[in-house]
Amino acid sequence: MLLKKLPEKLGDLGKFLILCDFPGIDVCHTLANLGASINLMPFSIWKKLFLPKLTTTRMTLGLADRSITRPKGVAEDVYVKVKKFHFPTDFVVVDFEADPRVSLILGRSFLRTGRALID
C-alpha cells in the first residue's frame, strides 16, 4: 500500500509589507492585505502626492472596527513603483487617520495585477 504524505499546511500570511516608491514620500511601506478587496489611500496622503482629481463614488465601506464610512472618491491610474516595475492602480481615498509606518493598503486586486506569487 502506497501512502501519500500531504505537505504540512503553513499558516496564511494574511498581510505583509511591500516597499514602494512615491515622489513626496520619504519611505513608503504599503500593507498588502490578502483579505482586502480594494486598495485604500488616506485622504492626507492623496493631498500630499498632488494626484489628479478624485472620481466621485457612491459606495460605502464597512471597516474592521465595524464602522461605516463613505470614501472621498477614487484616485484612478495611480502608478505604484515596486522595485523597477510600475503598476497602474485605482485607490479608494478615505478620510481616516493614517498610520505613519504604513502609507497605503493594497488589496488582492493589486497583487493579482503584479502577478504576485505568495508562498
pLDDT reported for residue 98: 76
Domain at 78, CATH number: 2.40.70.10
The domain of 75 spans 15-113
- 91, part of any domain: yes
Question: At which residue does the C-alpha cell 516597499 appear?
Answer: 19
pLDDT reported for residue 8: 62
Cβ neighbours of residue 58 closer than 8 Å, sequence gap 6 or more: none
- 29, part of any domain: yes
- 96, part of any domain: yes
Taking the chain (119 residues) in consecutive chunks of 10 residues, what is each chunk's mean pLDDT?
58 72 77 80 87 91 84 91 85 86 78 54
Number of domains in the chain: 1
Cβ neighbours of residue 53 closer than 8 Å, sequence gap 6 or more: none
Contact 102, 31 (CB under 8 A): yes
Q: Please name every residue paired with 85 in a beta bridge, in sequence order, or none if there are none.
A: 82
